[in-house]
Amino acid sequence: MKKKFFAWFAIGLLVFVLAGPAAWSTPFTATLPDNLGPLNGGVLNYSVISPGASLPGDATLAFDLLGYASVDGANCCTDTFSLFINNDLMFKGGFNMGGGGSNFINFIAPGVTILSSTSYGLFRGGLTQFSVNHSLVSGTNNYVFDYGVMQGLGDEGWGLRSAVISADINDSSSPVPEPSTMLLLCTGIAGFAGIRLGRRK
């Protein structure tokens, strides 16, 4: 009988472990405004307020990096793009988006994926697509897109499009069971099972 009791208790605990994370998480999505440009180098700085935090590295930022005219990769006139999230450098490198040269990476954080990078031809611009896994904090999150100093809009420019942040967060404002409530429920189930097993003796 004791074996059956512990089996019931283990089942209750398993329900608590599996149901707990799902019950405490809420889908969160934020869309950053498009800035199609062309921009003459410089910085785009966005702030996103989240009501809760994600698990470490469990949030995703996806965006399109637009290149106009002759954005350079590694050549005589290299253009360097940097991405910071919450003051942490996530990526630093450059792409041939109409200006020639080779794509290069000076730094890339774990979780950063370059989905594609395309040049439409010399002086025809290009497109680079990113997916960035990162940690979303409760409160204000800062996203900085920096293309440094360019050669002027007569030669090249850049822009940002379709930037979306998504995550499952532990939103404390959601009406979900507290961990103590879930544990009490599981204990009650195990206790009820123990009483029933005791009556069968």
Q: What is the pLDDT of residues 4-40, one digit of tens each?
A: 544 444 455 444 444 455 546 899 999 999 999 999 9
Average per-residue pLDDT for the chain: 85
pLDDT at 171: 77
**Interatomic CA distance for residues 119 and 106, integer angstroms:** 20
Q: Is the pTM of this model over 0.85?
A: no
10-18 contact pairs (CB < 8 A, 24+): 11/189, 12/186, 12/187, 12/189, 12/190, 12/193, 13/186, 13/190, 15/186, 15/189, 16/182, 16/183, 16/185, 16/186
Give the fold, CATH level 3, of 26-170.
Jelly Rolls (2.60.120)
Q: What is the mean pLDDT of residues 49-54?
A: 98
| Identity at 71, one-letter amino acid code | V
Asked whether the predicted pLDDT for residue 116 surpasses 60, the reply is: yes
Structure tokens at 33: 């405004």
**pLDDT of 178 over the 50 cut:** no
Task: With a cut of 60, say whether residue 157 has pLDDT above it.
Answer: yes
In the prediction, which pLDDT does 190 show?
A: 53
From CA 71, how far away is CA 76, in angstroms rounded?
12
6-11: which pairs have CB atoms within 8 A and are 24 or more residues apart? 8/189, 8/190, 8/193, 8/194, 8/197, 9/190, 9/193, 9/194, 11/189
Residue 196 confidence (pLDDT):
57
DSSP codes of every residue in 16-81:
HHHHHHHHH-EEEEEEPPPEEEEE-S-EEEEEEEESSPBSTT-EEEEEEEEEEE-B-SBSTT---E
* pLDDT score recorded for residue 5: 46
**For 181-192, what is the mean pLDDT?**
52
Q: Which sequence spans correspond to the domains of the chain?
A: 1-25+176-201, 26-170
